[in-house]
């Protein structure tokens, strides 16, 4: 939930994350609240009485259009308006939410609740939400759960630990691991990571990995090339180079200061904004390149040759 | 790693699980060990010297067939045999492991190491292992990592919490949650779960959910039916009914005694053995039914009718 909030979500239904990390906890009742009472209307009225200033009612326990929304409207009128508040919203958690939300919007509007929001939930992900919006769903807010907090679309993130250099007599000796799988050939040496931003648009052009003692001089043009297809080369100009890596610990001492979660969120969103739309679309996104410097590529290439000969 | 061991794995590369839960830790060197030395042979010899009684060498840092296996054979001869031990194995972690394992087997056999095992790893899962075995891979042991410890093939396991009954004046009142999604309609009431085992084969025939005050009398035939297609009915005979649920806490007190991990593993494997092969195959497995008792179905059906009318 903390990561989701940083990446742009508005809040969480997990209250402990509010307490521990300051992520705003949001939500409404569970179905069990509605089931607990003798009637749905009783359940809604009891909730509205308890939270007249923040009243979102869950309308799909029995039948959204026949009972849920009519009962919600009745509860809003009986228990929220007389207390001088406006109701917050209704939540639909099952069924054809696109269809139901359109009907719900009409019913709420006709009852004078044009300002009441419609919240949707139920195993939503980015693809379902896109399709709902394309089909005109009248949803103001999406509750996304298990598809967000698990890595549902890419459950395994391959990460490997390999040695890249050995310090010997005060000198860093680059080391390589070869493989028939090109992706498993390591890039040797102690390295730095740079991001090149276009000065005109502010967008990220590419990332470049260099050797540790290299500097990218952004006052001059800089040639980048694809690390797999090295004949694909391109000159970058009018850009700003920024180092991405920051030390967290130096000689066992923490040197990094934790930031406020809202500062992190702001920074994250501003960085996502430096990506071209072409890179962020779902289908056929443009590759964002992570290139090597010429010197680093030469070191890698030399070691590949040297170890392949043995 | 604890769950994987219980489900049938031989051990883990995660040493803390050995210490905490008694799961045997197994493994060999990392690639970094090999990279650390000036030559692969030096690395192997140093390792063999340190672990002559448990020597498995990682042969794919540079080139499996040209350097890895010849160096491993040399290290076995120089450092393991003279100490009076037999080497344990070699591990291949990249490339076409099926092909490489066949070549490796021949090379090891010719060097007199017919008893040395071949271990394979590298993003393996059940499908890759099946195909490797079908194509005659000479692999004795498979190291499976991220595809096992993450729910790679089914990253999201839908689970919902819904109220099924309310105690009122000492009586349990069954409660239901309706939905257009049939799978989201809850089964009301306080319940028991039974598994019916065929007395002849020992195999599990079906699971049956009953109301809490019901008993399945396995001295008589018992009619089960599909909870979705209730006209699909079947008589079960010559079976043993066993209750699956066990109380862990009663009135806030733990009443369940933890068992030794090897007891749990044994029990788990014996239970998996009660599943028909038809249920456990990868493609088109036979559905294993979880049925409702007639009385429970009647309670559910009555509540569906009652709440749909409103």
Reported as half-sphere exposure (CB side, CA atoms, 13 A), residue B232 has a value of 8
| Portion of chain B with pLDDT greater than 70, in percent | 99
Report phi then psi at B20, rounded to 5: -80, -35
Which residues of chain A have a CB within 8 Å of the CB of B178? 61-63
The residues on A that touch B, with CB distances below 8 Å, are 30-32, 35-36, 40, 60-63, 66-67, 94-96, 123, 146-147, 150-152, 155-156, 158, 161-163, 166, 175-181, 184, 307-308, 310
d(CA B143, CA B203): 30
Using one digit for the tens of pLDDT, what is the confidence trace for B178-191? 887 777 889 999 99
d(CA A293, CA B6): 48
Bridge partners (DSSP) listed for residue A249: A254
Instruction: Tell me the shortest Cα–Cα distance from A177 to chain B, in angstroms.
Output: 5
d(CA A150, CA A74): 38
**Maximum separation of any 2 CA atoms in chain A, in Å:** 86
pLDDT tier, B207 (very low <50, low <70, confident <90, very high otherwise): very high
Q: Is B158 close to A123, i.e. CB distance below 8 A? A: yes
Instruction: Tell me the shortest Cα–Cα distance from A36 to chain B, in angstroms.
Output: 7
- What are the structural domains, with CATH classification, of chain A? 2-149 (3.20.20.70), 177-309 (3.20.140.10)
Q: Residue A175: closest CA among chain B residues belongs to which residue?
A: B35
Q: Is A146 close to B161, i.e. CB distance below 8 A? A: no
3-class DSSP state of B278? helix
List the single best residue of A38, A67, A156 to mutate versus B (max B Cβ within 10 A): A156
Tell me how many degrees the CA angle B96-B101-B102 measures, rounded to the nearest 5: 110
Nearest to B196 by CA among B290, B299, B295: B290
User: From first to last of its 310 residues, what are the pLDDT tens digits of chain A?
Assistant: 999 999 999 999 999 999 999 999 998 899 999 999 999 999 999 999 999 999 999 999 999 999 999 999 999 999 999 999 999 999 999 999 999 999 999 999 999 999 999 999 998 999 999 999 999 999 999 999 989 988 888 888 878 888 999 999 999 899 999 887 777 889 999 999 999 999 999 999 999 999 999 999 999 999 998 878 888 899 999 999 999 999 999 999 999 998 999 999 999 999 999 999 999 999 999 988 899 999 999 999 999 998 877 5
Q: How far apart are the first and last CA of chain A?
A: 50
Using one digit for the tens of pLDDT, what is the confidence trace for A1-26? 999 999 999 999 999 999 999 999 99
ipTM (interface predicted TM): 0.79
Pairing mode, strands B290-292 and B165-168: unpaired
Q: Is B36 close to A166, i.e. CB distance below 8 A? A: yes
pLDDT value of position B228: 80
Which residues of chain B have a CB within 8 Å of the CB of A148? none
Q: Residue B175: closest CA among chain A residues belongs to which residue?
A: A35
Q: Is A35 close to B162, i.e. CB distance below 8 A? A: yes
Q: How far apart are the first and last CA of chain B?
A: 50
Q: Is B31 close to A61, i.e. CB distance below 8 A? A: no
Give the sign of the dihedral formed by CA B234, CA B239, CA B241, CA B244: negative
Residue B136, phi-psi category: left (phi > 0), alpha (psi -120 to 50), beta (remainder): left
d(CA B88, CA B82): 15
pLDDT at B310 over 60: no
d(CA A93, CA A143): 9
d(CA A41, CA A77): 12
Q: Residue A33: closest CA among chain B residues belongs to which residue?
A: B163
Using one digit for the tens of pLDDT, what is the confidence trace for A227-267? 788 888 999 999 999 999 999 999 999 999 989 999 999 99
pLDDT value of position B192: 96
CB-based contacts of A287-290 (< 8 A; 24+ apart in sequence): A288/A204, A288/A206, A288/A207, A289/A206, A289/A207, A289/A224, A289/A226, A289/A227, A290/A206, A290/A207, A290/A208, A290/A209, A290/A227
Residue A21, phi-psi category: left (phi > 0), alpha (psi -120 to 50), beta (remainder): alpha
Query: What is the overall mean pLDDT for chain B?
Result: 93
């Amino acid at each position: 939930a903390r990561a989701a909030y940083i990446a742009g979500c508005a809040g969480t239904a997990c209250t402990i994350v509010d307490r521990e990390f300051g992520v705003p906890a949001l939500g409404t009742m569970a179905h069990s609240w509605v089931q607990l009472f003798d009637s749905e209307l009783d359940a809604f009225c009891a909730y509205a009485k308890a939270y007249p200033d923040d009243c979102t009612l869950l309308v799909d326990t029995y039948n959204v259009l026949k009972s849920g929304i009519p009962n919600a409207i009745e509860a809003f009128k009986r228990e929220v308006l007389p207390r001088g508040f406006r109701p917050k919203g209704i939540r639909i958690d099952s069924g054809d939410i696109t269809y139901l939300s359109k009907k719900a919007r009409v019913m709420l509007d006709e009852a004078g609740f044009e300002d009441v929001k419609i919240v949707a939930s139920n195993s939503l992900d980015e693809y379902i939400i896109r399709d709902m919006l394309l089909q005109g769903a009248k949803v103001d807010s999406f509750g996304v759960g298990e598809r967000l907090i698990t890595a549902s679309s890419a459950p395994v993130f391959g990460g490997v630990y390999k040695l890249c250099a050995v310090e010997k007599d005060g000198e860093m000796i680059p080391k390589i691991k070869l493989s028939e799988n090109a992706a498993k050939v390591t890039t040797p040496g102690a390295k730095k990571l740079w991001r090149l931003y276009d000065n005109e648009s502010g967008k990220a052009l590419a990332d470049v990995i260099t050797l540790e003692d290299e500097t990218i001089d952004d006052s001059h043009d800089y040639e980048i090339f694809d690390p797999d297809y090295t004949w694909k080369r391109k000159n970058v100009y009018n850009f700003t180079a920024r180092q991405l890596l920051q030390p967290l610990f130096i000689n066992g001492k923490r040197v990094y200061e934790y930031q406020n979660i809202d500062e992190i969120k702001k920074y994250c969103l501003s960085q996502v904004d430096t990506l071209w739309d072409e890179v962020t679309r779902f289908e056929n996104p443009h590759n964002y390149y992570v290139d090597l410097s010429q010197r680093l590529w030469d070191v890698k290439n030399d070691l590949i040759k040297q170890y392949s000969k043995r």
